[in-house]
Structure formats: structure tokens, C-alpha cells
Structure 1
Amino acid sequence: MFLIMKRLFSFLLIAIVLNSCSEYQKVLKNEDVKAKYDMAEKFYDEGDFKRANRLLEQIAPKYIGKPQGERVMFFLADSYFQTRDYNMAGYQFERFLKSYPKSDKAAEAAFYGAKSYYELSPNYSLDQTDTDKALVKLQNFINTHPDSEYLVEANIMAKELTTKKERKSFEIAKQFNTIGEFDYTFLTPAVTAFDNFISDNPGSVYREDALYYKFDAATNLALNSYEFLKKERLNDAKDAYLSFVKYFPESKYLKEANKTLEKLEKELQNYSK
């Protein structure tokens, strides 16, 4: 008996799904805008954002300037976001804000528009155009909606993206230093890149690493310099060490840095006589 009831339930479920699909296709193909609106709203409320999106795409132009236009445009933008089409979501949320800047949904649209670009932000090693867009959008949202329920999440995302950009800058400087082990001409741009990074990102999580690797690059540059440049560069390297230990006296790099300093001191003795 249980098996029979289970099969009947399965058949009934299949019939409902097929009927729903048939009704959806019928509404999708006809010209009744109101029927499409009602079905799109039904699918949206049920969380079926893919089917809601197709209907909303069709009817959105019909509702421009009408009372329901605000609702339709927001649903359309959000349905793109919910189906992970973040390019279109970002674009549609921007359109919504331009069309309805005083909407009750303005803060939510600004947040999810920014989050769309956040979702598009790639690995730190790739082009960071979308990361820059996301940071601008997030900062605008934070400045404009300081009391929003989304503020905490917006700050977390902004911090994550900022750290990602910092890592890209740090890795570029570090790459110069790595190549400098084989080609000394890269050591000068390595030191400059670390200097720029430290100056531009005073609160970065990579500050300790940058200060240490600047010292490392400056030391290698000094030890491999022409004689007439050597003394000055040895002193520059020592200054880099002093700056490093000033800010990170218990650094994970301290043991290695102290060994390197001994080499510097030994070389500098040649100029104290």
C-alpha cells in the first residue's frame, strides 16, 4: 500500500511540474503582459529566479514610466544576481538607481550592485578592474548608507578587496626581488617597489613582509654594487634593517635578518678604517 501511494505521489508531482512548465511556456510565448507580470512575480516569490528572469526581461520595457516599473526593474536586477549573472546584475542595479534614486529599495540596490562587482573580482594575480569598480561602489554605499543593515558586510568585502589589491602590489615587488637574485638590475626597482608599497599601504597585512624583503633587496643590491656605490648602499640596507626591527621587533624573519645584518656589518668595517 505504501509503495502504491509513493508511486501515485510521484506521478502527481510529475504531472504538476509538467503542467507548470506547459503553463510557463504558454505565458512566455503570448503577448499578455499582465499574465507575464503575475507569473514572474509568482516565480520570484517562490525562488525560481531563472524562469522569473526570462519573463521579467520581456516585460521590463513595457513598464517604463508606469507605477509597477520600479518593482519590475528591481526584480529583474535581483533575478540576475540570484542566478549569478553578476555582469548583468551590476548593470541593472545601476539602471535601477538612476531611474529610482529615492526608492525604498535604493540602499539594497546599491549594496547588491556593489556586491555584483565584488563577485566578479578575480584572483589577485589577474587584472583588477572589477575589483576597483567594486571598491568604488562599496565605498559609495558605505558613505551614503551608514545606517544600513548591510554595512557590516560591505565593510568586510571592502577590506577583503583592499587586501587583494595590496597582495598584487606586494607580489609584484617580491617578483622583482626574486628575479634580482639572477639579474642584479632588478634589485633597484625591487627596492623602489617595496618603498612605494610601504608608503601607500601603511596598515597592510603585508607590511612586515614588505619591510623584510626591502631589507633583503637592499642588501643584495649593496653587496653586488660597484665599489663607488657600495658604502652608501650598505648604509641604506642597514637603515632598512633598522626600520624593519623598529616596527616588528619580534618578527618571524628576525633570525634571518640578523644573520644578514652581520654580513652588512662585516662589509661596512672595510670603510671604517
Structure 2
Amino acid sequence: MLTSCGNYQRVLKGDDNAAKFKVADSLYQLDSKGKYRKALKLMEQIVPVYRGKPQAEKLMFMYANTFYELEDYFLAGYQFERFETSYPKSDSVEVAAYKSAKSYYELSPRYSLEQKDTYKGLEKLQVFVNKYPNSQYREEANVLVKELREKLEKKDIEVADQYLLIANQVGSYKPAIESYENFISDHPGSIYREDAFYGRIDAAYNRALSSVPQVVEERLITAKGYYNQYIKYYKVGARREDADALLLEINKRLSVYEVTTTEN
């Protein structure tokens, strides 16, 4: 009866803040998007009124969670952060912290786009896991952390691959080599790490081929060193056959210098 259409409109347009709180709470408990939207209209009117009052803690959590349930993750993340700051001893603070972090996870775009929100979500989730090591949400949070990390890794490996593709067209391989090296350093446990090791060999070999004669031998030796590092970690790697094919070409070209040295 409290949430009937006629009564809702009267409360919404009226001045009775207690009635607005009661109807908003009733709508919120019905747990549906349509009811959340109606509850939100009431909450928006009374949040400033209840600030500092005993009912504010409950209201502010409902307010934040309503945005979350309506998938407005930007405002949900912000409001849950405010709740954490305002009510650090609340029984709901752990849930608020998790949902705040998850809101930023939800804002994370596809890997090919700007990843500012991905970094923010990763940071928030890691803070949550560290702060609440025994939380019931810990396992799920770790899954989300893994997913965001893999998204950043995919972004970084594709950037490196793009540098290599550009280098194949314009002949400047140093940015690709540096990008693969940064990937190896920044993502030691990545599923794309082997690709980075192989890409570095490929880029270094092609850099040697496109170099002036005076430095070709030196750069071929560098490429061979990258192959040796690849083998150290991936003796049975998925790119082993491709890497061995590159090594064959490297050794074939280095043999020319060995013959020249012997003749001299």
C-alpha cells in the first residue's frame, strides 16, 4: 500500500521527509530496477536532510547501492567511497568497500581503449583484498584482479606487436624491442610473456637486417642472445618452432662473418 502509485506521487510531491524515507525503504526492499528508480527519486530529495542524523547511515548505504543496482557504476563507486569515509565502523563498510571496488571494475572498458578506469579498479580491488583478507568477497575479488591484469597485459602486448608491425613498414625496430622488454619486466606472470620473448627476437633480428653493415653482426649476436633467453624459459614453448626458425636464419647470417674472420 505504501508503494501504490497514488500514494507514491503524494509522498514524492509532499514535504513529509519521514514518509519519503519509509516509502523509499519499502521500494528499495522490493529489489527491482523499476522500484529502485522510484526509490532513488525519493532518496535524492532526503539525503541532504538526513545528513548527520541516526538514519543517515542506512540511507546512504541504500543510496549508494541503488546506483549500483541501476548499473550507474560511476556514481555507485563514488557514493560507496563516501560511505566508507563517513561510516568506517559500520557493519556495512566491508560490503561498501567491495562494491566500490567492483564499480570501478565494471567501468573498465575493452582492452583496446584508454585504461584509466582499469588501473583504478585494480588499485581499489587490491586495497580491498589487503584490508579484508578474510572477506567472503576475497575469492571473487582475486578473480576480478586477475581479469583486469590480463586486460592490461593484452593491451601492452598488442601495443608492442603494433610497434613491430609499424617497424616492418618503416624500418625502426628499437621501439618494438623496448616495448617487448618493458612487457617482460612489467608482467612476469603473464600468459602473453612467451609472445613478448619471441617478439623481441623477431624485432632484434629484423633490426639487424635493416642496419648499416658496420653493426649488423653485433645486432645479430644480440638477437641470438634474446633467443637464448627465450629458450631458458620456454624449452617446450608454443613459439619454439618459430624461434628455432629465426635462430637458423641468425646463425646462417653470422656464419658469413665467421668465414670472413677465418679468411683474414
For 1:57 and 1:75, the matched residues in 2 are separated by 11
Q: Secondary structure at the match of 2:190?
A: coil
Task: Name the amino acid aligned to 1:24.
Answer: Y
Q: 2:212 aligns with which of 198, 203, 226?
A: 226
Q: 1:86 aligns with which of 62, 65, 73?
A: 73
Question: Which residue of the partner structure matches residue 127 of structure 1?
Answer: 114
Deviations 1:137-162 (A, max 9, x none): 11111111111111111111111111
Matches within 5 A, 1:28-43: 28-43=12-27
For 2:232 and 2:6, the matched residues in 1 are separated by 72
Structure 1 residue 152 corresponds to structure 2 residue 124: no
Q: Secondary structure at the match of 1:104?
A: coil
Gaps of 5+ in 2: 260-264
For 1:103 and 1:52, the matched residues in 2 are separated by 22
Structure 1 residue 46 corresponds to structure 2 residue 30: yes
For 1:49 and 1:242, the matched residues in 2 are separated by 60
Task: Name the amino acid aligned to 1:224.
Answer: S
Task: Name the amino acid aligned to 1:144.
Answer: K
Q: Secondary structure at the match of 1:271?
A: helix
- Seq. identity, %: 47
Q: CA deviation at 1:117?
A: 0.6
Question: Which residue of the partner structure matches residue 258 of structure 2?
Answer: 272
Q: How many residues align?
A: 256
- Give the ranges of 4+ consecutive aligned residues of structure 1 lying more than 4 Å apart after TM superposition: none
Q: Secondary structure at the match of 2:52?
A: coil
Q: CA deviation at 1:136?
A: 1.4
For 1:119 and 1:67, the matched residues in 2 are separated by 32
Q: CA deviation at 1:22?
A: 2.2
Q: CA deviation at 1:86?
A: 0.6
For 1:205 and 1:254, the matched residues in 2 are separated by 15
Deviations 1:25-70 (A, max 9, x none): 2211111111111111111111122211111111111111111100
Deviations 1:158-216 (A, max 9, x none): 1111111111111111100011111111x111001101110111111110111111111
Structure 1 residue 195 corresponds to structure 2 residue 190: no
Q: Secondary structure at the match of 2:4?
A: helix
TM-score, normalised with respect to structure 1:
0.91
Q: 2:10 aligns with which of 5, 26, 32?
A: 26
Question: Which residue of the partner structure matches residue 6 of structure 1?
Answer: none
Task: Name the amino acid aligned to 1:233.
Answer: R
Q: 2:191 aligns with which of 176, 201, 205?
A: 205
For 2:199 and 2:54, the matched residues in 1 are separated by 61
Gaps of 5+ in 1: 1-15
Question: Which residue of the partner structure matches residue 263 of structure 1?
Answer: 249
Q: 2:223 aligns with which of 237, 254, 257?
A: 237
TM-score, normalised with respect to structure 2:
0.94
Task: Name the amino acid aligned to 1:41.
Answer: D
Superposition RMSD in Å: 1.4
Moved more, 246-255 or 96-105: 246-255
Q: Secondary structure at the match of 2:71?
A: coil
Question: Which residue of the partner structure matches residue 4 of structure 1?
Answer: none
Question: Which residue of the partner structure matches residue 262 of structure 2?
Answer: none
Question: Which residue of the partner structure matches residue 61 of structure 1?
Answer: 48
Question: Which residue of the partner structure matches residue 240 of structure 2?
Answer: 254
Q: CA deviation at 1:106?
A: 0.7
